[in-house]
Amino acid sequence: MSKTLYIDENVNDGIKKFLRCILENGKVKGVLTLINEGEKIAYSLISNPELIKYTVPLYPIMPLNAARSLSHITLSEPISEPIAVVIKPCEIRAFIELVKRSQGSVENIFFISFTCGGVYPIKMNVNGKINEKIDNFWRLIEKNEIDADLRASCKVCKEFIPYNTDMTIFLAGNKEINNQCRIFLNTDRAEDFAESTDGNIVQDKINTELIDELKVKRLEERKKLFEDKKIEKLGLEGLIDIFGRCISCHACGNACPICYCSLCYFDSQESEYKPVDYESELEKRGAIRVPPNTVTYQVGRLIHVGISCVGCGCCEDVCPSEIQLSTIFIKGSESIQEKFNYIPGKNPEELIPISTFDIKEFPEVET
């Protein structure tokens, strides 16, 4: 049993009403959420309660991973006034991973998230295409089904129930989203906020039947995706085939919430080939791609961020060559996360595996 806030509206209006309330009664100074301006949807920090009516907090779109937005806000110092953020579960997890790397602070941030039904590729954000799609999305949420047009990474996501949130909105796995807004209150702060609004607070039990059903569906999709793409048997030929399309624009790294280094090794002069390097490579190979080393970049990035990859799929979304990056990254990161029994962003106290060690482990690595 946990405390739950009931608001007698559909889920979208309910959360907007709640956000407006906490802004008006001064519980928070700002709200970070998506604003819909017709042709475009973007994350914005809002302080004027009048503007809440333009927000679309639960829209299935991720213009960028909000972990990056939060890191922008809190990189130099924690925010001094409390703000509420309505973001997706993977965005919170990515932000926790950034905080572990000293790239932000959770102080004074009130986290609101929801059981996530996935998001569409950002191409849906062009010319307001998402607005045509949205009714169908809500219908599929009610039916507890997975839309085939969602991001590949969302269709196979198994961590769609948020960790470390103050409030969890019951969205995916809820058939009643059109009639009720149910918000689980996970912390004392959330209870305090809820009491200041005019919804009903009751003791409620989360109905996990539909969530479990959705999880099974997604795990099936996951298995299917990995089998279809044959990730395990890719080998060198497969990798070169896939990454051969890479144009080295490094957009995936720039969109990735975990790739935070201000000077990436792959953007540095150190990784740049000098004429003498080209000459020596040409002697060996007879020909060379310019710029070279797309495979090094992709595999190198996977090794660097794999341990904290939350599988949000932003990398694949921004790729101009439409490389199926998220499938490769999800599969690759799964293998190391299982090795360390680590779910990125689940426990803020837990150290990142690469920043710690056990004295006795991995005897198989020593040869």
* Interacting residue ranges for another protein, rule: CB under 8 A: 231-236, 238-240, 244, 265, 281, 284-289, 292-296, 299-300, 302-304, 306-307, 328, 331-332, 335-336, 339, 353-354, 357-359, 361-362, 365-367
Residues contacting 228, CB < 8 A, separation 6+:
none
Q: Is 205 left (phi over 0), alpha (psi -120 to 50) or beta?
A: beta
Query: Minimum CB separation from another protein for residue 253, in Å?
Result: 13
Tokens of 186: 């996970």
Contacts 24+ apart (CB under 8 A), 46-49: 47/23, 48/23, 49/20, 49/23, 49/24
Query: Minimum CB separation from another protein for residue 150, in Å?
Result: 24
The size of the chain, in residues, is: 367
Query: Minimum CB separation from another protein for residue 236, in Å?
Result: 6
From the CB of residue 281, how many other CB atoms can be counted at a distance below 10 Å? 16
Q: Is 185 left (phi over 0), alpha (psi -120 to 50) or beta?
A: beta
Judged by DSSP in three states, 319 sits in coil
Query: Minimum CB separation from another protein for residue 265, in Å?
Result: 5
Residues contacting 342, CB < 8 A, separation 6+:
307, 350, 352, 353
Query: Minimum CB separation from another protein for residue 302, in Å?
Result: 6
The C-alpha torsion from 351 through 354 and 359 to 360, rounded to 10°, is 110
Query: Minimum CB separation from another protein for residue 276, in Å?
Result: 13
Euclidean distance between CA atoms 359 and 240, whole angstroms: 37
Closer to another protein by CB, 143 or 360: give it.
360
151, 118 contact by CB (below 8 A): yes
Query: Minimum CB separation from another protein for residue 245, in Å?
Result: 11
Query: Minimum CB separation from another protein for residue 325, in Å?
Result: 13
Closer to another protein by CB, 128 or 292: give it.
292
Helices 294-305 and 235-243, axial angle in degrees (round to 10): 100
Strands (E), 181-237: 181-185, 200-204
Residues contacting 271, CB < 8 A, separation 6+:
265, 293
Q: Which helix (H) or strand (E) holds 168?
A: strand 167-169
Residues contacting 53, CB < 8 A, separation 6+:
16
Query: Minimum CB separation from another protein for residue 268, in Å?
Result: 10
Tokens of 15: 């959360």
